[in-house]
Amino acid sequence: MFIYILFSLPALLLAVIAQIWVKHAYNKASNIGSYSGMTGADVAKAILRQNGITNVKVEITEGWLSDHYHPLEKALRLSPENYHGKSLAAIGVAAHEAGHALQHNQNYLPLYLRSALVPVTSFGSNFAYIIFIIGLILIKFVFIGKVLMLAGIVLFTLAFLFTLITLPVEFDASNRAVAILRQAGFLSEQELIPVKKVLTAAALTYLAAAAQALSLLLWAVTEYNRNDD
């Protein structure tokens, strides 16, 4: 247990800091209206239209900051506050998700790699820890324990790779968002300042996720080595 805490605590603290920062930055930018008066949905649709993307739907999805782009369904989904909102936060988030749609349209490789890892990562996030713990319990008694621990390590590794691939995907989408908002004249340079803060804070959450995935992997490998006779 001590080893688990030793590996996981720094990543957990980073995750907490990231969540506090993104909430603060988002709430602050949410209270600043844009001069254009455009909603997040307006901006997302305009970006898609200007780039000749006509097969992507812009929809509402429930949940706070549940905004995302679904490559398979070609749907750009914004939470209610960002779909209808006219704040700098709403516009920044909408432009970021539109950046993912542009990545998809331009065959951005990291986006495809991340999408390919989604099924196995979803399984791993639900069962990797359980599989590894069962293996840890059984390793002193039967050979299957060692196999289960190795299977858990493989799943932890895939989860970590997923978070690594996510980093360039998210950073690139944010860079695209800022460039588009500037070039298309949706926001002034002054308005872009709080938008950049929101996107930077969001980027830290992805770094925190990568750190958490790495901490689990390192813990699993350490436990395996300690118990491998």
Which residues are marked as active site?
97
Q: How far apart are alpha carbons 81 and 203 in whole angstroms?
A: 20
Q: How far apart are alpha carbons 202 and 200 in whole angstroms?
A: 5
* CA neighbor of 214 nearest in space, from 2, 48, 1, 10: 10
Q: Do residues 96 and 50 make contact, with C-beta atoms less than 8 angstroms apart?
A: no
